[in-house]
Chains A and B, each alone.
Chain A
Amino acid sequence: MTITLTNPDREQALDDGYAVSVTPAEIRHLGDAEAAFVRGDDDALRQAYDEHGRLIYNFCARALGPERANDVTQEVFLSAWKARDRFDPSKGNMAAWLTGIAKNRIIDAVRAEKRHSDRRAPESTDDMPTESEAESLGDKMLVIDALQTLPERPRKILTLHYFEDLTHPQIAERTNLPLGTVKSDIRRGLDRIRQHLESTMAEVTHV
């Protein structure tokens, strides 16, 4: 469900062996799961939660703390389920859609908390995120989610580059891959992650 189905360079990626971890049958299955959600099929909500519950819960926990995350995660899935006919799989993936809903819920929760605390202790909401911080955190969570969906080789190369601070030649040496492959995997990995973040349904995420 986290694969962008309309990737224009998918054929090229397949030629490179980049996307071999996702078979056409799996893609059909993923698409089916999203369609089942929109139809309101039995188990479709459970599938969506199994697939994305971790992402949404951790987003809420990092923004609001683990105590509030429980309730807000529930609200996100309940809202999404009630508004499922507004989810259009052709316009973006479910992870981005749910993350958009979660971002709005988090911002609502922060505003409500601030309204209450203004009358008590104004400093008590200092560690709560601003709207733009919630937005950035949502993007970061989708990047983490997208990383998990990358095939093993590019995921490893991106990890070495960004989290172990290795240069491209160092990665090539460490992995015994040609330098050109390292560079193309990094670029393509960045493109994949960007696609994962894209959702043209931003206007309907406030449900």
Chain B
Amino acid sequence: MSDELQLTDDEARIDAILRSMSDEDLELDTPPASVWAGIQAAVAAEEAEAPAEEPAAAEEPLAPVVSLASRRRMPMLLGAVAAALVVIAGLAVVLVSDDPSAVEVASADLVYVEDDPAFVPLGAGSSVDVTLLEDGETETIRVDTAVLPEAGDDGDLEIWLIGIADGEIQIVQTLGLVENPDDPGTFAVPAGFERSAYDAVAVDISIEPHDGDEAHSGMSLVRGLLTA
């Protein structure tokens, strides 16, 4: 109870709580970006599982979006499968990159967004321009210009497609690792990725720690929407 005021019981209760605190208690930490990424992924997974879902989400996803908590329990086998897919994607790049019949169908300016918890500060100052090429049934993301940081020894840069419908992320699909940040090259879009199933598709480049977890880390450097 404050010595200098006659307080009601309710006021005295708050007075007692304040007296039990120090100014250090007032300092709140900012949650890591992975917290929001996990919420977003868990909500998307939840809604994808719900019956009577939109057609986009009802289709079998290439890489189901799962919560951070459950993805940690994924068997290591998935990591091996993902690694194999990266190798296949790499081979595909070689096959399609010099094809003269490819048509430019969309492009995206990937930028870093300050104060957005989906992004990590390492991305500040980064920018990437990409073009989506179509050649019959085959689609390729070609990186035209790139200003990207080095990933360092503890991680890799990875490029992703993010399918968005009903204002939610429906799918986060890897295109592979970015081996050379100055000249990333081209990346094949996996055959099962149906752009038309989503309201919008974003290209994302993230930093992926060497933690054995093949899902998106939630730490984006740059992102941009593909527009025709």
Contact = CB atoms under 8 A, between A and B. Distances in A.
Contact of B42 (A55, A74, A136, A158): A74
Interface string A30-57: 0000000000001101100100011101
A19 interface: no
Contacts of B13: 194
Contacts of B32: 70
Contacts of B22: 163
Interface in A87-144: 136, 139-140, 143-144
A194 B43 contact: no
Interface residues of A, number: 42
Name the residue in A43, A74, A77, A159 with the highest tally of chain B Cβ atoms < 10 Å from its Cβ. A74
A49 B117 CA distance: 10
What band does the interface of chain B fall in when counting residues whose beta carbon is under 8 Å from A?
Answer: 35 or more
Contacts of B30: 54
A167 interface: yes
B29 A61 contact: yes
Contacts of B67: 74, 78
B18 A143 contact: yes
Interface of A: 42-43, 45-46, 49, 53-55, 57-58, 61, 66, 69-71, 73-75, 77-78, 81-82, 136, 139-140, 143-144, 147, 158-159, 162-163, 167-168, 183, 186-187, 190-191, 193-194, 197
Given A70-B38, A70-B68, 10 more contacts: A42-B166, A58-B28, A58-B29, A78-B46, A81-B43, A143-B18, A144-B28, A158-B18, A167-B4, A194-B14
Interface of B: 2, 4-5, 7, 10-11, 13-15, 17-23, 25-26, 28-32, 34-36, 38-39, 42-43, 46, 67-69, 117, 166-168
